[in-house]
Amino acid sequence: MRLIPETHFDFAGRRWTFFIVTLAFVAISIGSLLIRGFNYGVDFTGGSLVQVHFERPVPIEAMRSALAAIGEAGASIQQDERGDFLIRVGVKGTEKEGASFAERFQEQLTRSFPGNRFDLPREEMVGPQVSKELQGKVLLGVLIGLIGILIYVSFRFDFRFGVSAVVSLAFVTIIEIGFITLIRMEVTMTVIAALLTVIGYAVNDSIVVSDRIREDLRKIRKETFYQIVNRALNETLSRTVITGLSVFFVLFALLLIGAASIKDFAAVMLIGMVFGTYSSIFVVANSVVEWEVRFPSKRRR
């Protein structure tokens, strides 16, 4: 049973339209990165992060006053839909007078909100040296991942497919980074994990499409490379759309009703899934078509 009827779209014939749209998204993303920059979280800048849950609601102005009382008026304060607070302070505010920020903060909350029970379900502290090491390791991890994908796809299919897959993944990553900087999302290890997961999702879709193209190249000899790519994309379109929609609805549900700690992950995954699906259909195979047009392979000349 096919949920989507058989299609005959000319994907390859409109490849330059898709390339221009992709480049436009990339340009916007790079512009956002250059203008707005990253909003690094405690994981990468060092400092302390504390989540506070109160038994009864507390206004954010009262929380600011409590922080000012311990000399942390410049702390970052966020409040989620449940009323929980996320408090972030830099490295300088992490430890004063022999006590950690969390200890001083708890004492002040007890004084500022007597009778209102609270707990700290989340408490993190990262030193500046560790945060610098994390930045380097994240970049190295992404680079190793892209090189590994290039080697694997080139070995399994063709060097052209490997290069196209890596270029496509680079586009998806840049667009993701643009989204993160545009909405000033805090860059944490959770966000990085979502980025790496998106890369894995996108390359899986690319492999499915590339595998179908390879099968059709072996079976069909009367059609041109251009026609075979169009055939393969139309044959895998139903599977790609259904898989993408199933993931989309799950991530959308997490974004709506998930806990605050997982919403950034869901948002990054949601955007990445959309553009990962887009790239597997409109970028990877069409890049190989353009390569074939400019540098025809021997068996298709």
pLDDT digit string, tens, across residues 261-298: 688 889 999 998 899 888 888 888 888 888 888 877 76
7 is a domain residue: no
Dihedral sign (CA 217, 233, 289, 210): negative
User: Has residue 1 been placed in a domain?
Assistant: no
Which CATH number goes with the domain that contains 53? Answer: 3.30.70.100
- Note the pLDDT of residue 219: 84
CA distance 69 to 66: 5
Its pTM stands at 0.75
Sign of the alpha-carbon dihedral angle for 229, 231, 234, 236: negative
Question: In terms of residue numbers, what domain contains 257?
Answer: 12-41+130-300
Taking residues 208-236, report their average pLDDT.
84
Instruction: Please report which residue ranges of the chain form alpha helices under DSSP H.
Output: 15-36, 42-45, 60-69, 101-112, 128-156, 159-182, 189-219, 225-257, 260-279, 285-294
Last residue of a domain, one of 92, 110, 126: 126
- Considering its fold, how many domains does the chain have in total? 2
Regarding whether 185 and 138 lie in a shared domain, the answer is: yes
Please check whether residues 147 and 82 belong to one and the same domain.
no
CB 196 within 8 A of CB 145: yes
4 found inside a domain: no
Question: Residue 150: which CATH number?
Answer: 1.20.1640.10
Same domain (yes/no): 138, 244: yes
Exposed e or buried b per residue across 218-257, where buried means at least 16 C-beta atoms within 10 angstroms of its C-beta: eeeeeeebbebbbbbbbbbbebbeebbeebeeebeebbee
Higher pLDDT, 146 or 116: 116
pLDDT band at 6 (very low <50, low <70, confident <90, very high): confident
If asked whether residues 153 and 230 sit together in one domain, one would say yes
Q: What is the pLDDT of residue 135?
A: 67
pLDDT of residue 301: 44
How far out from the chain centre does Cα 24 lie? 19
| Phi, psi dihedrals of residue 86, rounded to the nearest 5° | -115, 115
Q: Let me know whether 100 and 134 are in one domain.
A: no
**81 pLDDT tier (thresholds 50, 70, 90):** confident
What token pair was written down for 232? 């393969």
For residues 101 and 141, state if they share a domain.
Answer: no
